[in-house]
A and B are shown apart, each in its own frame.
Chain A
Amino acid sequence: MPVQDFEQVFQDKIDGEIKIEPKDWMPDAYRKTNLRQISQHAHSEVVGMLPEGNWVTRAPSLKRKAILLAKIQDEAGHGLYLYSAAETLGMSRDEMIGDLHSGKAKYSSIFNYPALTWADMGAIGWLVDGAAILNQVMLCRTSYGPYARAMVRICKEESFHQRQGFESLLVLSKGTDEQKAMCQDAINRWWWPSLMMFGPKDSESTNSDQSMKWKIKRKSNDELRQQFVDMIAQQIKVLGMKLPDEALQWNEQRGHYDFGAINWDEFWAVVKGNGPCNKQRLEARRKAHEQGAWVREAAMAYAAKTAQKKAAAAMQAGALEMA
């Protein structure tokens, strides 16, 4: 079949809402886009463990410590599902990790902001996971089968994290003046970076059109961002806190909240590596990987030895039977 026909079959499947599976023919660009996006998503889960890990040893109560640890553990699990999904497109986890460490692959810029107080754990859960969920709910219906299936599992846990984050801020909002101030300060610092998580404005997003046609994405950056603002603007009322945006206002005509201008210079600065923690995050990942090298080597060597012993024992047993 000529390539054009393959492409037609492929697009027909997408249009007919049939998932693309690893062994199906797919255009190179579709494979590359998915691989880039899924591996970037996996890296984000793994790097995302670091800002929260910063508070594990200082959690304010044993219960909160257990909740935080379990949450970070979930993120490691999400990283695993996603690396596995990405591997079906023909790249090994090792290669992907290599690309992360060399700076070739990106991860979500949000994790390049520092987690400065305990309230940041709540704000990350509520705002950062909240923003991630909107994107991920959409991705449950993405056209690449393994990615969509990984997302279904991830979404279940992620929405739990968001509720936990909100609940933890709710406790602060009902606490002492210091706790309330801590809560408001965390919201102030995480609000704008959370809005940036949806990526550049539609008018400036380079990959969007093709991704929509291939149903990798089903909603535009701006649509998702608006959905997020509408959701959070309501939820914050329960906390009795304020979003740091004077322009935030319900627009009757649009049926949405209007909101102020995003500082895109800051967004691009962080993407290009100049966020407060880019260097620190990447160094932490590299260090963990390098210092774990001897462990991984030893585990491989031991597995090989064990397999060899088993094979030898089987051979011997076979020889005895023959005799």
Chain B
Amino acid sequence: MQKTDSSDIQKELKTAWSEAPSLEGSREAYLLHLADNSLILSHRNSEWCGHGPVLEQDIALTNISLDLIGQARNFYQYAASLIGNTDEDQLAGMRPERAFKNLLLVEQPNGDWGQTVLRQYLFSQYQYLLFEQLQQHADQQLAAICAKALKEIKYHLRWSSEWVIRLGDGTAESNERMKNAVEELWRYTGEMFMPAAYEQEAQVDIVLLKDAWNKKVASVFEAAALSVPGDCFMQSGGKTGVHTEYMGYILTELQYMQRAYPGCEW
């Protein structure tokens, strides 16, 4: 049996913490935020793979999951080139929970199909409007990644909004389920419009974003026979690494191989 003394443990702890690059206020932090959003939502969607309500939709959601991984990889690769001495898999697979900067919305459990498509819609609507601005960004690499992603997001937006409408305006049961999904997820939407320090430097017009998002969501909800909730308390913290309890379990799975066999090629 291997003996571990406390100084070894101390050393290990130190390494674990130093693996989390503290990049607040930097361009790298913003890129990681964008990457983490796509990665975690992709992960949640991929949990459906093989378990969808009908084969065609299993394929559609897996498609979205694949697009999101692609986006995450582009952002991580760019971030890694700026940070140096790291790569996309280190960034996704070795950072501790507190270093992840994704929105709380994307880490919420899949729930039923209704909750999954609503989560996708709320995020895609946001991502679409945000990336429309970012494709004009002075950072050309960032702008290019966003411009490429926009083509995919257009499809995600169409697919998810159609599902929200279809289920909202489908049967009494599906309407009820969608109302529950709104009730469950709405509190995580406010965070999209509460800029973290690193976002302020990215020069995104948050007011414009928020207004446009509210208008679009209102019109989709109307078509879906759903009402937009009034003012309510909005949860936040994801952008600065204070997550819901679900996040640790996501990373336990997502990072399992990188942590069990560090430094390997796959």
Q: Which A positions have Cβ atoms within 8 angstroms of B?
A: 46, 49-50, 52-53, 56-66, 69-70, 72-73, 76-77, 79-80, 83, 118, 168, 171-172, 174-176, 178-179, 284, 287-289, 291-299, 301-302, 305
Contacts and interface: CB of A to CB of B under 8 A. Distances in A.
Nearest to A50: B50
A176 B264 contact: yes
Contacts of A79: 55
A49 B49 contact: yes
B53 A288 contact: yes
B32 interface: no
B170 A301 contact: yes
A306 to B, nearest CB: 9
B5 interface: no
A257 B265 CA distance: 34
B117 to A, nearest CB: 9
Interface in B22-45: 39, 43
Contacts of A59: 257
Contacts of B49: 49, 53, 56, 69, 72-73
A308 B264 CA distance: 59
A73 B66 contact: yes
B112 interface: yes
A175 B88 CA distance: 20
Interface stretch (B126-134, B149-157, B171-179, B189-197): B171-179
Given A53-B49, A60-B258, A62-B76, A295 B174 contact: yes
B261 A66 contact: no
Contacts of B46: 56-57, 65, 69
Contacts of B50: 49-50, 52-53, 72, 76, 284, 288
Interface in B240-266: 253-254, 256-258, 261, 264-266
Interface of B: 39, 43, 46-47, 49-59, 62-63, 65-66, 69-70, 72-73, 76, 88-89, 92-93, 112-114, 165-167, 169-171, 173-174, 177, 253-254, 256-258, 261, 264-266
Given A72-B50, A298-B171, A60 B257 contact: yes
Given A62-B69, A69-B69, A298 B173 contact: yes
B266 A77 contact: no
26 contacts: A46-B55, A49-B49, A56-B49, A57-B43, A57-B46, A60-B257, A60-B266, A61-B266, A62-B69, A63-B73, A64-B266, A66-B70, A73-B66, A80-B55, A171-B266, A176-B261, A176-B264, A291-B53, A292-B54, A294-B171, A294-B173, A296-B54, A297-B171, A298-B171, A302-B165, A302-B166
A76 B69 contact: no
Contact of B52 (A66, A292, A299): A292
B170 A299 contact: yes
A59 to B, nearest CB: 7
A69 B253 CA distance: 16
Interface-central residue, B53, B169, B256, by most chain A CB under 10 Å: B53
Nearest to A51: B50
Given A61-B88, A80-B59, A295-B113, 9 more contacts: A57-B46, A57-B253, A62-B73, A76-B59, A176-B264, A288-B50, A291-B53, A295-B114, A295-B174
A301 B69 contact: no
B112 A66 contact: no
Contact of A298 (B93, B174, B254): B174
Contacts of A299: 166-167, 170
